[in-house]
Amino acid sequence: NAGVTQTPKFQVLKTGQSMTLQCAQDMNHEYMSWYRQDPGMGLRLIHYSVGAGITDQGEVPNGYNVSRSTTEDFPLRLLSAAPSQTSVYFCASRQTGGRYVGNTIYFGEGSWLTVV
């Protein structure tokens, strides 16, 4: 079972460079999201999507773009990396369909990004 797959696991960028964090899930989940994890702050929602072609902003969207062309994939783009974007990034997915459906959220293994 692949679940949620994130790549790359580790990346070092120079300030101003662009890159894309890939996220794919094989569970046919409609809902996908990206979080960043910083020390002492838990996880914060960057962007999320409730289906192909539909995306919306979370708590900390600035500096990030997303798109959802297929159900399976939800890439996160950093257009011009800044040191403040040094963090661990998690992709997550779940089912949708009601208050008590999709209570289990599946996380990827995380992507460690350093911007120098």
Give residues in contact with another protein (CB under 8 A).
31, 33, 35, 40-45, 48, 50, 56, 58-59, 88, 90, 92, 94, 96-100, 102-110, 112
Handedness of CA 101, 104, 106, 107 (dihedral sign): positive
Report the nearest approach of another protein to the CB of residue 16 (Å): 27
> Residue 86 or 107: which CB sits closer to another protein?
107
Report the nearest approach of another protein to the CB of residue 18 (Å): 24
Report the nearest approach of another protein to the CB of residue 33 (Å): 8
Cα–Cα distance measured from residue 75 to residue 23, given in angstroms and rounded to the nearest whole number: 6
> Residue 14 or 100: which CB sits closer to another protein?
100
SS3 59: coil
> Residue 49 or 85: which CB sits closer to another protein?
49
| 87 close to 103: Cβ distance less than 8 angstroms | no
Q: Half-sphere exposure of residue 8, counting CA atoms within 13 Å on the CB side? A: 9
